[in-house]
Amino acid sequence: MRNSLRILAMGVALLALPGVTVAKGIKEPLRDGYYQALKGKKVAFLPGAMAMDLAIGWLAGLKSELEPQGVEIVVRDPNFNIQAGAQALTQLIAEKPDVIVVHNPDVTTYAKLIKQAEANGILIVQINMASLQKSTAYVGVDWVEMGAVQARHVVEACKGKSGKIAIVQGDLTAAASAYTMSGIESVLAENPDIKVVSNQSASWQSDKAKSITQTVLKQNPDLCGIIGFWDNMDRGTAAAVDEAGLSDQVYVATSGGGETKAACDMVKSGAYDLNVVYSVPNQGANLASTIKYLLSAGVKPGEISGQMYTTLTPVTAANAGDEGICWTMKQ
Amino acid sequence: MAHLNETLTRIRYRIWPDHVVGEILSKPWMETAIPVLVLVATFAILSWLVPGFFTFAQLSIIAREGGELGFIVLGLSIVIMAGGVDLSVGSIFAVTNFIVLLLMHEYEWSAAPAVAVTILAGMALGAVNGILIGYLRLRAFLTTLITLIIFRAVYEIWTADHATAIAMSLPDSATWDFLGIGLIRGIPVNVWLFAAVALACHVLLTRLRPGWHLMAIGGSRRAAYNAGIAVRRTIALTYVASGGLTAIAAIFFGARLASVGGNIGVGMEVTALTAAVLGGITLGGGRGSVTKAIVGLAIVLIITNGMTAYSASGGAIRMTLAAILVAAAVIDIRWIKNRHRIISSVYVSPDYLYLPPPPSCEAKPGNAWAVNDTLRGVDVIGLGEVEGPEDVILDRNDNLYSGSRHGDIVRFLAPDYKRMEIFAHIGGQPLGLAFDREDNLNVCVGGMGLYQVSPAGEVRKLTDETNRSWTSVNDDSRLRLADDLDIADDGRIFFSEATRRYEMSEYAVDALESRPAGRIICHDPRTGSTRTVIDRLRFPNGISMCDDGQSFLFAQTSAASVSRYWFDGPKKGRIEVLIDNLPGYPDNINKASDGNYWVALVGMRGPALDLAMRMPGFRKRMTQRLPFDEWMFPNINNGCVFKINLEGKVLYSLWDPQGINHPMITSMREHKGWLYLGGLSNNRIGRYKLPESEADPAYVQYARRWGLPT
Amino acid sequence: MHRFQLSQQMIVSVIFVLLFAGLSLLLPGFANTENLLTLLQNVAILGILGLGMAVIVIGRGVDLSMIASLAIPVALTLQLADAGHSTALAIIAGLALSALFGAANGWLIAYAEVPPLFVTLASGLFLAGLGQAFLFSTEAVVWPEPLQFLSAIGRGRLAGIPNSIWIFALVAVAVHAFLSRLTAGVFTYSMGDNPMAARLAGIPVRIMVIVQYVSSALIATLAGFVMAASVGSMSTRIYNSTWIYDVILVVVLGGIGLSGGRGSVTNVLIGTLLIGTLLNGLTILDVSFPVQNLIKGFVLLAAIMADTVLNPRNEETAQQGDI
């Protein structure tokens, strides 16, 4: 409203100028408002932990896109501790930044705080992991689709084989796990010949993933596919398959943020047959774009609520070497 | 010039309270000094680093977290103080958080029963630990490690089934919302509750019997068991308390966030343990307090919150916390180890005391102080049988009583005083003795107070405390060195307490200080009340009633003087110096048969010490630089008894300069023409036959004082 | 007069035998060589850590920082090698960090006289924080190409037996030799039994403490190398897990009392085998992770309860401060 008034005023001023006949040096009507809307704004970033490659990628995107516009970015690092995260978010609400980018540890912990923050006039953008509490924007992966994509590939690979697959989950209570699982289940429901022989949680730990996979492979030497929930953890899964000498027989599917070493290199080496990648730099750019839009449009919390799902790229041996599929973290 | 200097010294020592430093350092709460200093330092550094962080709004947020974590720290501290440890608090937190959310969100209970059931559930989980550790005697560390795993597994199994249902519903309860976000006077509701619970715990641990039992078990489990304390039950109850307090924390957490995330409570035991250790609560038990727990909690909260707000990385926060934890532990351990050493080097704080040159004791005619050999040939009673008869007294049947170092009152039977029996056992060393009208023997007992022994030998405590003086740092309500007493006509007992700064075994150090730290106290058996009547005396010692029934004489050993105090009558409240500048240090005073008073001199003054008394700084350096054995102490090995009248005139004195038969005299009692002599470090009682001209051979002090029995 | 008494070690052995027999009979696919090797391989790292912890516990200490010294020095080596430094330098840097860290632990315990529980609680936190804040940008450091020659310690087989089991066996023999053949081992027992008496007897107690904590740090780092080689990366996030509790349980469950002076390598092996068998059997049965933990917890509880019932402690013989 304020912006349009300003534009109107500018137009009136232009008309009032005598003898303006040539359209040279005409004032661009948007940029002043845009820069003013962004300048001096404060964006807070609350990841699960700054030690994750995802968080580093997102923060890099935010900084490169927003800082040149005069937006201040502050980071709070709860270091995987959700109580610390909740406390940091509570403190942020009292500090009143304009936007908080929240990476939820699960669907419930931050829900009340997100509601409280938006009630206090702070825009909440959720990244990659949506809370049950909807906020102004969600940027990130569609986990149900993620599960479905992996499951379809594994089902395809198991055609004509034993049909036995194993699932290596992260934390059972993590919502991403639950959503991914529902995606997998919907695909499996259409393929009754596929049998899940083991569905275990490795708590995001690679050594545990390896132990579980080793045991499962010993019990089911004819296993044809494994769906893992995170590529960093599934290094262990892949190592177990590799050690058992079953790399050709067992189709290993996993997912992750597309960092070269964790994704493309592993697919190239044959450790994973599939890594469904959500590009973290793209997510970072999406985040920044969303924030730019929200701030320049002067959106108030609660007025709108929208999603921006990240494109999922299945990385297989066929495209792992292609330019731009993976991204490399700067040290 | 020298004169001016001495005046300045005198004024400086009158104004500046040197003794306060040592007394403050020896307070039990000084153990918390290091954690408090760490807290102040972290607070100062962070408020400098993060400007505007410590605003009321931010502090309120920190306080709300503190009001949750605090309950856990408190519970854990209680367990640790009793000698255990509870690692399962994080898991109990998760389970009780789940239970309260299940009841509120899914089952839609109202807040009150849900809260009650949750606390009971927390106590039940704690009781599992308690029964295993308290009654079955399992090891706390391992057991709670295993229950940590079990409770966490239970939490994960339950949340897998109920997480969605809990997340999808919202309880419609104002009470519940109030618990989560409510403020009372701008301060979060849980902080108020925490303050109340912490206060209650503090009172429990320091003032009530169960708390003492708990600390006793932590201090020495075996000794507590042998003392008859219900060790097992008490230990079990500490875990129940820990579980219950953790449940309260979980309720507030649940009300605030309504989260059943997978990581809830993980690592919480480490945070709580860190807080407890930072506060200075010793693992293994016996040492700790609520204050320490809160100080430790505050340090952890300020560091984590402050550094997060400073945008520090998680790694940097961890490093800081670890560094402070180690530094605090190192300093705390050094402090605890060396505290008594520091105290002993600053506690002794000599005062300025000027005594004029003493009268001469040269053997010249007409000199009442003339040294003689009169007491050289005294009879000896109970040689080797009695140790440390500070005071001696005789009853109406001529039996002789005295105290002994073994905590007994011994009795030598008339007429020959060859047979000794133990009349009563009190426990502390009896000092001054006095019979009252009913034949009860009233006794001042060093380190214990004022006691009474009936004629049948039954011991009864009259008092061991007086009113606390508000200017004293030490809690001086308890009697440390009750010394001598006498009894007024109406039964009131006036007794002296030589010093409130030292125990009986260290009385010589008080003499070295010569600080006015003693007092005279009145115990009224009719009302049972005890009040200090004269304060700030320099080692008050002997007391003897005057015949007017309104006043008594008292000696101040360090001040080398005898004074008279009126407790009744027209001169009530007045003190008059009867005689000062005695050649030695007066001890007990007792009545002579001719109406005058016997005074014992326990030791002689010397010019070197008199000079040292005017140089407090010199004596201070001496106590700091020389070992105890090398210190300069007043002489206490000289036997002298003198007689004085109420005008303050010394009539004559009896001496034993060689100190062969009776080396030290602290008291004397005239009885039927004999003078009985006691000495604090003697192994005998002396008996001197007074010349007929100077003594009434029929004089019995009891009869003179209380009349003949009816 | 010889009175038969069931020790904790025997109780756990009995439980282990019963469990093993039961699983062999009831669970097809349990009692074959391959699965048993897998079982051992899965607990090899836990076992190695347990051996390091055993040395400390026998000397009446505890080392909660083992997971940090497992993760951070190894990750440092991997990162240095990846960044193009020579492999020798990378490995020496990792081991030096580990040894220095152990020495710092020992110094704080022996000379500053801070209880080991606090020292290692704090030092683990410190090392993990150091890694996060200054050494690594992300939690996971990948096993780099230049170190491929070393990856055999975690992968592959020798004489049909996985290499990690060989390493476990090697460490077990070394620790056994240390404890039972070397003077330092005898000193360790006497320190654990009565530190005061050991000191009066002229044993260099303080130096020994440093030796013990350096050895436990190095053993943990070795376990870290095996683990990183095995899965192809080192996740420093492992420090956040409650793994250290499993290590303590393996040690104590086997019968090494936390009050020190008792126990041997055999105890660690038995404890490790029991946990390994339990977890392997439950994984085969496809029991979910929380239920596995629940069952594990109850078996552990049963073991220490049996010990308490059979070897009751009473108020008269209890040691003060023995928690």
Amino acid at B507: Y
Q: Which of residues 145-164 of B touch C (CB under 8 A)?
A: 145-150, 152-154, 156-157, 160
Pairing mode, strands A42-46 and A99-102: parallel
Chain A hits for C137, CB-CB cut-off 8 Å, are: 51, 56, 329, 331
Residues C261-294 pLDDT 10s:
888 899 999 999 988 888 888 888 878 778 888 9
DSSP B415: T
Residue B599 has pLDDT above 80, yes or no: yes
A267 touches chain C (CB under 8 A): no
Residues B400-434 pLDDT 10s:
999 999 999 999 998 889 999 999 999 899 999 99
pLDDT-based confidence at residue B159 (cuts at 50, 70, 90):
confident
Mean pLDDT per 10-residue segment, chain A (331 residues): 53 50 70 87 92 88 91 89 88 91 88 91 92 90 93 91 89 76 92 89 85 87 92 90 88 90 87 91 92 91 91 90 82 50
Does A113 sit within 8 Å of B268, measured CB to CB? no
Residues B668-678 pLDDT 10s:
999 999 999 99
Nearest by CB: C29 against A207, A219, A243: A219
Calculate what percentage of chain B has a pLDDT beyond 70. 99
The region of weakest confidence among A321-325, B79-83, B615-619 is: A321-325
Beta bridge partners of B493: B487, B523
Q: Which of residues 233-262 of C touch B (CB under 8 A)?
A: 240, 242, 245, 248-249, 252, 258
Residue position matching structure tokens 């780092």: C221
Domain boundaries, chain B: 29-342, 374-462+476-706
Residue B361 has pLDDT above 60, yes or no: yes
DSSP A259: B
In a domain, C118, yes or no: yes
Average pLDDT for chain C: 86
Does C45 sit within 8 Å of A211, measured CB to CB? no
pLDDT recorded at residue B589: 95
The answer to whether the beta carbons of residues A315 and A266 sit under 8 Å apart is no
Amino acid at A308: M
Nearest by CB: A52 against C41, C139, C284: C139
Beta bridge partners of B566: B551
Chain B hits for C309, CB-CB cut-off 8 Å, are: 136
Coil vs helix vs strand at B232: helix
B330 touches chain C (CB under 8 A): yes
Chain C hits for A212, CB-CB cut-off 8 Å, are: 283
Number of structural domains in chain C = 1
> What's the token pair of residue B400?
């002789």
Average pLDDT for chain B: 89
Compute the Cα dihedral for C291, C292, C294, C295 and give only its sign.
Answer: positive
User: Measured between alpha carbons, how far is B364 from B360 in angstroms, rounded to an integer?
Assistant: 9
Phi, psi of B63 (to 5 degrees): -65, -35
In a domain, C2, yes or no: no
Does B180 sit within 8 Å of A91, measured CB to CB? no
In a domain, C322, yes or no: no
Domain boundaries, chain A: 29-142+281-297+305-310, 143-279
Report which of A112, A140, A136 is spatially closest to residue A127, judged by C-alpha positions: A140
pLDDT-based confidence at residue B175 (cuts at 50, 70, 90):
confident
pLDDT recorded at residue A6: 57
> What's the token pair of residue B431?
């000092």
Does B262 sit within 8 Å of A79, measured CB to CB? no
Nearest by CB: C139 against A51, A200, A239: A51
> What's the token pair of residue B66?
């503190």
Q: What is the CATH number of domain B29-342?
A: 1.10.3470
Residue B371 has pLDDT above 50, yes or no: yes
Q: Which of residues 62-91 of B touch C (CB under 8 A)?
A: 83-85, 87
pLDDT (average), residues B279-308: 88
A261 touches chain C (CB under 8 A): yes
User: Measured between alpha carbons, how far is C200 from C204 in angstroms, rounded to an integer?
Assistant: 10
pLDDT recorded at residue B519: 94
Q: Cα dist. B704→B398, B588, B707, C147 in Å?
A: 14, 19, 6, 106
Q: Which of residues 31-90 of B touch A (CB under 8 A)?
A: 57-58, 61, 64-65
- Residue in chain C nearest A235 by alpha carbon: C231
Residue B624 has pLDDT above 80, yes or no: yes
pLDDT (average), residues C61-66: 90
Instruction: Show Cβ contacts of residue B616 under 8 Å, excluding neighbours closer than 6 positions.
Output: B9, B13, B18, B349, B350, B351, B352
Residue B706 has pLDDT above 90, yes or no: no
Q: What is the CATH number of domain A143-279?
A: 3.40.50.2300
In a domain, C314, yes or no: no
Q: What is the CATH number of domain A29-142+281-297+305-310?
A: 3.40.50.2300
Distance of CA B603 to the CA centre of its chain: 31
Amino acid at C203: I
Report which of A80, A83, A14, A27 is spatially closest to residue A51, judged by C-alpha positions: A80
Nearest by CB: B160 against A78, A107, A172: A172
Amino acid at B629: D
Beta bridge partners of B677: B668, B686
> What's the token pair of residue B136?
């079955």
CB count, 10 Å around CB of A32?
Answer: 14
pLDDT recorded at residue A23: 56
pLDDT recorded at residue A167: 93
Coil vs helix vs strand at B690: coil
User: Measured between alpha carbons, how far is B455 from B450 in angstroms, rounded to an integer?
Assistant: 17
User: Measured between alpha carbons, how far is B40 from A195 in angstroms, rounded to an integer?
Assistant: 62
B374-462+476-706 matches B29-342 in CATH topology? no
pLDDT (average), residues B500-514: 88
In a domain, C320, yes or no: no
The answer to whether the beta carbons of residues B257 and A86 sit under 8 Å apart is yes
Q: Which of residues 283-312 of C touch B (CB under 8 A)?
A: 288-294, 296-298, 300-301, 304-305, 308-309, 312
CATH code of the domain covering residue C272: 1.10.3470
Coil vs helix vs strand at B125: helix
Residue B561 has pLDDT above 60, yes or no: yes
- Residue in chain C nearest B141 by alpha carbon: C323
User: Measured between alpha carbons, how far is B411 from B395 in angstroms, rounded to an integer?
Assistant: 10
Phi, psi of B667 (to 5 degrees): -155, 165
Instruction: Show Cβ contacts of residue A293 under 8 Å, excluding neighbours closer than 6 positions.
Output: none
Question: What is the helix (H) or strand (E) element at residue A283, kind and residue range?
Answer: helix A280-297
Phi, psi of B449 (to 5 degrees): 130, -150
Specify whether the backbone of C214 is left (phi greater than 0), alpha (psi in -120 to 50) or beta: alpha
Instruction: Show Cβ contacts of residue B655 under 8 Å, excluding neighbours closer than 6 positions.
Output: B371, B372, B373, B374, B375, B639, B640
- Residues comprising chain B, all counted: 710
Chain C hits for A80, CB-CB cut-off 8 Å, are: 237, 240
- The CATH homologous superfamily for domain B374-462+476-706 is TolB, C-terminal domain (2.120.10.30)
Report which of A298, A301, A292, A234 is spatially closest to residue A263, judged by C-alpha positions: A234
User: Measured between alpha carbons, how far is B159 from B634 in angstroms, rounded to an integer?
Assistant: 78
Residues B634-666 pLDDT 10s:
887 778 999 999 999 999 999 988 877 787 899
pLDDT-based confidence at residue C316 (cuts at 50, 70, 90):
low
pLDDT recorded at residue C321: 54
Does C289 sit within 8 Å of B150, measured CB to CB? no
Residue C318 has pLDDT above 70, yes or no: no
A143-279 matches A29-142+281-297+305-310 in CATH topology? yes
